[in-house]
């Protein structure tokens, strides 16, 4: 549900692009918004002079209420899930596996931030992601609490399958369904009520093939996809169809897909992204990293400039390794001069 406050803060052009149906509301209420695209709705309503308000019998408060009610009704009718304007996610400290208090008080992650989660095997990275997915409220083994916009989130996040807080990409993808790739994407597209279904299907298969090493097509049964291909399909599907404001990623490095492309596809400015990883490239692409030890958050480190600089070098190394891997697969003999000077 959007509120009057939300709508007042939005620019007319943002309203028109986010809620295209608002144009007919403006027309029906004789609100001429042409030329006012760059100002907020609140400013627009305030720009009328006393005379205009009198002459056209404009009731500003009623207009606001009617407009918000209209938008919410339309969104419900169209089956569009609003993200309730999620601006931040806060992790409130709990306890590690030994029952000791975690080494921080609260960590707030804002929209468009990427945070990586690192730590030894079995240290509790997946547990942290699970706490977020469940919107833990001191009711998981860690005793952590998750806040959304600084508050305990509505329970609807937990139980509703269509209005999920998070899109989780987990390690194991068990496709038990007897579906083709097309049927699988169609199913998702239908549940999200997308209008241009065929276009979306093509976009997803293209994006998935761009991530996966070996190509697959729409007629391929889901069960015969390789690990990397099914991962690529899930990532493309989540990136393109999911309206969830928070994306949780558990280890994309083992998937045999282009991880950097995958991350770029998943991350857009509107989302909060957390990913568990052992991969230095992915970890350094994040703004911050959470270090987990013995089930508790031990440190929170900001990616510094030196580390960001290393990223470019690491990417070059990675490209070399990928090329060598591809050549090995093709049965070629590897050449030392392809190492790009990294090994003397």
Instruction: Please enumerate in sequence order all residues whose Cβ is within 8 A of that of 20, keeping only pairs 6 or more positions apart, or say none.
Output: none
Interface residue with ligand ATP, options 22, 116, 123, 277 (CB under 6 A): 123
Interface residue with ligand ATP, options 10, 119, 207, 231 (CB under 6 A): 119
Q: For residue 250, report the phi and psi dihedrals to the nearest 5 degrees.
A: -105, 105
Contact stretch for ligand ATP (CB under 6 A) within 118-126, 157-165, 314-322, 335-343: 118-126
CB of 259 to ligand ATP, least distance (A): 16
CB of 124 to ligand ATP, least distance (A): 3
In this structure, what token pair is assigned to residue 57? 């019998």
Distance CA 62, CA 322 (A): 61
Choose between 97 and 203: whose C-beta lies nearer to ligand ATP.
Answer: 97
Distance CA 315, CA 263 (A): 14
Note whether 101 binds ligand ATP by CB under 6 A. Answer: no
Choose between 124 and 256: whose C-beta lies nearer to ligand ATP.
Answer: 124
Note whether 116 binds ligand ATP by CB under 6 A. Answer: no
Note whether 168 binds ligand ATP by CB under 6 A. Answer: no
Choose between 96 and 230: whose C-beta lies nearer to ligand ATP.
Answer: 96
What's the distance, CA 139 to chain centroid? 25
Interface residue with ligand ATP, options 122, 191, 224, 254 (CB under 6 A): 122
CB of 321 to ligand ATP, least distance (A): 22
Q: In which residue are the tokens 């209008």 written?
A: 195
User: Within positions 188 to 247, which residues make up the interface with ligand ATP, using CB under 6 A?
Assistant: none
Question: Which neighbouring-strand residues pair with 108?
Answer: 90
Distance CA 38, CA 12 (A): 6
Binding-site size, ligand ATP (CB under 6 A): 16
Residue nearest to ligand ATP (CB): 295
The answer to whether 277 touches 117, Cβ cutoff 8 Å, is yes
User: Within positions 283 to 302, which residues make up the interface with ligand ATP, using CB under 6 A?
Assistant: 295-296
The answer to whether 209 touches 226, Cβ cutoff 8 Å, is no
- Buried-state track 206-215, b at ≥16 Cβ within 10 A, e below 16: ebbbebbbee
Choose between 84 and 251: whose C-beta lies nearer to ligand ATP.
Answer: 251
Q: Residue ranges of the alpha helices (H) in the chain?
A: 4-9, 12-18, 22-28, 41-46, 50-55, 60-78, 125-133, 156-159, 181-191, 197-211, 227-241, 259-266, 280-285, 305-329
Distance CA 109, CA 290 (A): 11
Note whether 277 binds ligand ATP by CB under 6 A. Answer: no
Choose between 84 and 279: whose C-beta lies nearer to ligand ATP.
Answer: 279
Choose between 256 and 295: whose C-beta lies nearer to ligand ATP.
Answer: 295
Binding track, positions 55-94, relative to ligand ATP; x by CB under 6 A? ----------------------------------------
Contact stretch for ligand ATP (CB under 6 A) within 114-122, 194-202, 305-313, 330-338: 114-122
CB of 233 to ligand ATP, least distance (A): 22
User: H-helix or E-strand containing 250?
Assistant: strand 246-250
Note whether 271 binds ligand ATP by CB under 6 A. Answer: no
Interface residue with ligand ATP, options 11, 97, 111, 260 (CB under 6 A): 97
CB of 155 to ligand ATP, least distance (A): 22
Work out the number of other CB atoms within 10 angstroms of the CB of residue 182.
Answer: 16
Distance CA 250, CA 274 (A): 9
Cα radius of gyration rounded to whole Å, the chain: 24
Choose between 122 and 340: whose C-beta lies nearer to ligand ATP.
Answer: 122
Instruction: Please enumerate in sequence order all residues whose Cβ is within 8 A of that of 58, keeping only pairs 6 or more positions apart, or say none.
Output: 48, 52
For ligand ATP, the binding residues (CB under 6 A) are 95-97, 119, 121-127, 141-142, 276, 295-296
């Amino acid at each position: 549900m959007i509120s009057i406050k939300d709508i007042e803060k939005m620019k007319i052009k943002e309203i028109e692009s986010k809620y295209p149906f608002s144009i007919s509301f403006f027309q029906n209420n004789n609100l001429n918004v042409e030329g006012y695209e760059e100002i907020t709705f609140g400013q627009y309503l305030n720009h009328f002079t006393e005379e205009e308000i009198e002459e056209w019998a404009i009731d500003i408060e009623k207009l606001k209420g009617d407009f918000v009610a209209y938008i919410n009704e339309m969104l419900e009718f169209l089956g569009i899930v609003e993200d309730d304007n999620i601006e931040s996610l806060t992790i409130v400290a709990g306890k590690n596996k030994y029952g000791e208090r975690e080494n921080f008080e609260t960590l707030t992650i804002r929209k468009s931030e990427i945070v990586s989660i690192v730590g030894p095997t079995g240290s509790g990275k997946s547990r942290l992601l699970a706490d977020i997915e469940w919107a833990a409220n001191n009711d998981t083994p860690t005793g952590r609490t998750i806040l959304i916009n600084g508050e305990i989130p509505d329970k609807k996040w937990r139980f509703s399958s269509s209005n999920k807080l998070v899109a989780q990409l987990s390690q194991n993808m068990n496709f038990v369904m007897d579906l083709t790739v097309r049927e699988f994407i169609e199913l998702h597209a239908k549940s999200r009520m997308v209008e241009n279904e065929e276009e979306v299907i093509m976009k997803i298969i293209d994006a998935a093939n761009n991530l996966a090493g070996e190509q697959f097509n729409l007629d391929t049964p889901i069960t015969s996809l390789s690990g990397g291909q099914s991962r690529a399909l899930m990532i493309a599907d989540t990136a393109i169809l999911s309206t969830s404001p928070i994306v949780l990623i558990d280890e994309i490095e083992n998937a045999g897909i282009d991880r950097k492309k995958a991350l770029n596809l998943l991350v857009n400015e509107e989302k909060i992204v957390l990913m568990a990883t052992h991969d230095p490239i992915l970890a350094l692409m994040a703004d911050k990293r959470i270090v987990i030890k013995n089930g508790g958050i031990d440190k929170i480190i900001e990616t510094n400039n030196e580390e960001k600089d290393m990223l470019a070098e690491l990417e070059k190394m990675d490209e070399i390794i990928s090329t060598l891997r591809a050549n090995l697969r093709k049965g070629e003999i590897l050449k030392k001069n392809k190492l790009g000077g990294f090994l003397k």
